[in-house]
Amino acid sequence: MTFKAEYIWIDGTEPTAKLRSKTKVMADGAELPIWGFDGSSTNQADGSSSDRVLKPVFTCPDPIRGGDSVLVLCEVLNIDMTPHSSNTRAALVEVAEKYAAQESWFGIEQEYTFFKEGRPLGFPIGGFPAPQGGYYCGVGADEVFGREIVEKHLDYCIEAGLAISGINAEVMPGQWEFQIGPAGPVEVSDHMWIARWLLYRTAEAFNVGATLDAKPVKGDWNGAGAHTNFSTKAMREKYDPIITACEALAANALEHVKHYGSGIEERLTGLHETAPWNEFSYGVSDRGASVRIPWQVEVEKKGYIEDRRPNANVDPYLVTRLIVDTCCSALEKADQV
């Protein structure tokens, strides 16, 4: 029997990369080879030297095709086998290895919005639905829109073996969230990219688009974020390292925000459960802070922190690399490892 391998990669589109994929039919039992593609069609090469290399880095069962079919997440390389400039995973792997002893965990909350016929699912033609209030974690056909897609996506993620930990309806109609983690920085990011691909692919079958746009509707509607929860072994055991991590994020605030996704100033306005993008703050239970320390963490004096700044369209390879680099180097310096 042959099987199908869906090679998936992240392209070079700016400011926000897109996912691409193509299918390779494989002989039974064959190893997944390195493959190639036309980089001039994905903003990753000029037409005159267009070949780019796909290197398989993470494989899981394909829950849509079933059988022996697989999804194959790839890094993009140049033909001399160096990482392509759009390849942000290679740099994360280096930083993750450097600080592996601190055992970093991440849980990323991916918010997104369904669109159909040019408007969010649940928005009436030419107008707006009732203001926000009843939609978050709502139930009923007047409150939630697209649940059949969301349930299918959740099942696919579980069947693929991804570290998905939950879903919920969000504050704006047509807006939803899923969470990946806790898992190490490379694992959480690989699983996130596959979960995103599965989201688009699942919604496609319903003739619905899904977008990670951080402010899909202007005005008094919540944006879409990717809250990034983080801990090291020391943070999971003591409180001082939690504060050290928050202070390290404070000292590097602007450097982080620059890489936290396209349109960050539009979403981090200080309204709609956000802190202004150019002012850093952290606090216990504070959903208006840049970084929240959950209340149980303060009570138990150990646990994790939530960086609420990343946009829904953030590259998980970038946000996890920045957080590991900033926090783990500070924890090392403070002898809190």
Tell me which residues touch ligand ADP (CB under 6 A).
105-107, 109, 165-166, 179, 181-182, 227, 229-231, 236, 303-304, 306
Q: Which residues, listed in sequence order, are joined to residue 9 by a DSSP beta bridge? A: 20
Find the residue with minimal CB distance to ligand ADP: 107
Tokens of 224: 């879409």
CA distance 177 to 179: 7
Tokens of 330: 């500070």
CA distance 224 to 232: 26
Toward ligand ADP, which CB reaches closer, 39 or 182? 182
Q: Return the range that interacts with Mn ion (CB under 5 A); candidates 48-56, 59-67, 170-178, 180-188.
A: 170-178
User: Alpha-carbon Rg of the chain, whole angstroms?
Assistant: 20
CB of 303 to ligand ADP, least distance (A): 6
Q: Which residues of 24-44 are buried (b: 16+ CB within 10 A; e: fewer)?
A: bebeeeeebeebebebeebeb
Toward ligand ADP, which CB reaches closer, 67 or 166? 166
**Cα dihedral 274→275→277→281 (10° resolution):** -140
Q: Which of residues 216-235 bind Mn ion (CB under 5 A)?
A: 227
State the binding partner of 221 from Mn ion, ligand ADP, none, CB within 5 to 8 A by kind: none
Toward ligand ADP, which CB reaches closer, 69 or 222? 222
Toward Mn ion, which CB reaches closer, 26 or 268? 268
CB of 90 to ligand ADP, least distance (A): 24
Is 62 one of the binding residues for Mn ion (CB under 5 A)? no
One character per residue 180-199, x = contact with Mn ion (rule: CB under 5 A) = --------------------
CB of 217 to Mn ion, least distance (A): 16
Q: Look up tokens 């590259």; give the residue.
A: 315
Helix (H) or strand (E) holding 166: strand 164-169
Contact of 311 with 267, CB cutoff 8 Å: yes
Toward ligand ADP, which CB reaches closer, 107 or 241? 107
Distances (CA, A) of 19 to 3, 179, 226: 22, 19, 18
133: left (phi over 0), alpha (psi -120 to 50) or beta: left
Q: What are phi and psi of 266, to 5 degrees?
A: -70, -30
CB atoms within 10 A of CB 287: 12
Toward ligand ADP, which CB reaches closer, 50 or 165? 165
Distances (CA, A) of 114 to 61, 105, 145, 212, 311: 25, 29, 9, 9, 16
CA distance 304 to 296: 10
Q: Which residues, listed in sequence order, are joined to residue 303 by a DSSP beta bridge? A: none
Q: Which of residues 90-109 bind Mn ion (CB under 5 A)?
A: 109
Residue type, 110: Q
CB of 317 to Mn ion, least distance (A): 20
Toward ligand ADP, which CB reaches closer, 20 or 191? 191
Tokens of 70: 């697989």
Answer for which of 6, 177, 213, 315 binds Mn ion (CB under 5 A) is 177
Toward ligand ADP, which CB reaches closer, 56 or 107? 107
**Binding region for Mn ion (CB under 5 A):** 109, 177, 227
